Amino acid sequence: MALTRRTFLSAAAVAALAALAGCASRLEPIDTSSSAFGSGEASGTINFWCRADTLTANQALVDAFHASQDRIHIELTPVPNGQYVTKLATAIRGNRPPDLVDIDDIYSSLFAQRGVLADLTPLVEKLPYADVLSPGHLSLAAKDGRSFGVPFLADNSLMWCNLELFDRAGLDVDEATGSFEGYLDAARALGGLGDGTKAWWYPGNSSGFLGFVVQPHMWADDADLIQGEIGSQTGFVVGNEPARKTLEFLHTLWNEDLVPTRCFSDDGAFGPLEFMEGTAGMAACSIGNLSNAEDGFLDRVESRMMVGPEGGRSFFDGGDNFVIPNGAQNAEAAWEYVLFCLDTAQQAELPASGYTPIRSDVLTDDFRRRWPHSVTPLEQIDAGYAPLSLSYNRIYNQSDGPWLEMFRRAVFDGEIDAAMQAAQSTYDQILRQGDA
């Protein structure tokens, strides 16, 4: 997974998405309500698209599926993240969609809202494990109470702590991560260790990644920066106390020289470098962001959910959903493969590729022993969240969006009130336009 978390939509992608609404009526709808659908007798070839970032995980699953049966063959096509939305929208507009799509869960909402995906509600409702699936993923593929996608894999933001530095500073992980006061006390203790040790890392010039790791502090106390239903959304920036307290806290870290100077210009290209090198005691990121750490590093860290100013807990429920476009030529075979991937045997192996399962019932004793760093989000899967908005990308992922501008002005310049006031206006403007 790229550290920027998500690549923002290009102008071409926005234009392609805007044209999708008129395509829905031209696509042959998939009737998933038929009692014969998903009977386990499908055959033929599945044209399956995945994000390039998830190719390793998907290739392993495709190989396992081929080894398990000989009726269905999968043609796996990885698509670069920056081209994904444009290519999928173009294929749908041309009535040549793939049979199955592994899509970033944030992007799944863009297509679900435009009526071009198969309604999977009857199939999801029949799943015996439907109640243990990630609710954050499900909500992003839902519209009007219907399910147009199903969770596949998770990529969650968590707060990571270096146990060696914590021991040197006399810190307890639970106390340090249980409140903003605990965060700040721990940060000051870590910053006092000397030898260039800093307390905290964040990429201060990476809009998408900051959205991934900073927003959960606000969500933990039930405050989102976007409010309302799609079509009538507005910003909730001014008057958002959890947001204000989060920005104030991060400004204090910067003002007290508790974060590396590089954070000011860090675009996330090298990952949480100081944290992985052992010179920063805390970092918010996903397990995938630590994949380049030296051998044995993960044995020296622990993670906790992100805490809010008032003590709530949350994490960004990122990752991917499976969706089946209307017009797909082999939807039944596609669904059979989806069921294979959702089985606990396959889900329990996702951490080997840097991802977390999306069903909490994989938490057996064996799983906890093998994948201890995947346990935290699964134990409290309902605490995960991801905003549902067609304007998410313009606000949070683009480098010229209001989120990054507000963060930098508030955190680095200390102009918190002015930054929030300016962001309120721009959030409202973008949300009124309602584009993706």
Question: Does pLDDT of 328 surpass 80?
Answer: yes
Q: What is the DSSP letter of 341?
A: H
pLDDT for the residue numbered 388: 94
Q: In whole angstroms, what is the distance from residue 275 CA to residue 258 CA?
A: 13
Token pair, residue 24, equals 């829905």
Contact 323, 141 (CB under 8 A): yes
Contact 154, 377 (CB under 8 A): yes
- Among 237, 190, 37, 249, which residue's Cα sits nearest to residue 123? 37
Question: Does pLDDT of 40 surpass 60?
Answer: yes
DSSP codes of every residue in 95-152: T---SEEEEEHHHHHHHHTTT-B---HHHHHH-TTGGGB-HHHHHHTEETTEES-EEE
> pLDDT by residue (tens digit) across 399-423?
999 999 999 999 999 999 999 999 9
> pLDDT by residue (tens digit) across 227-278?
999 999 999 999 999 999 999 999 999 999 999 999 999 998 888 999 999 9
| CA 321 to chain CA mean position, Å | 11
pLDDT for the residue numbered 9: 57
| pLDDT (mean) for 286-306 | 94
pLDDT for the residue numbered 2: 39
- Among 166, 136, 163, 202, which residue's Cα sits nearest to residue 372? 163
The CATH number assigned to the domain with range 11-156+317-385 reads: 3.40.190.10
Token pair, residue 16, equals 């392609």
Residue matched to tokens 């409290």:
380
Give the pTM.
0.93
Pick the CATH number of 171-315+390-433 from 2.40.30.30, 3.40.190.10, 3.30.460.10, 2.40.110.20: 3.40.190.10
Confidence of residue 13 (pLDDT cuts 50, 70, 90): low
pLDDT for the residue numbered 27: 87
Question: Does pLDDT of 6 surpass 50?
Answer: no
- Number of helices and strands (H, E) in the chain? 19, 15
Domain pair 11-156+317-385 / 171-315+390-433, same fold: yes
Angle between helices 402-411 and 241-255 (to 10 degrees): 50
| CA 213 to chain CA mean position, Å | 10
Token pair, residue 386, equals 């991801």
**Alpha-carbon torsion 147, 153, 155, 158, what sign?**
positive
Contact 91, 98 (CB under 8 A): yes
Residue 106 CB burial class (10 angstroms; 0-12, 13-18, ≥19): buried
> pLDDT by residue (tens digit) across 115-165?
999 999 999 999 999 999 999 999 999 999 999 999 999 999 999 999 999
* Continuous segment of H or E residues that includes residue 77: strand 72-79
Per domain, the residue ranges of the chain are 11-156+317-385, 171-315+390-433
DSSP codes of every residue in 377-406: HHHTGGGEE----TTHIIIIISTTSHHHHH
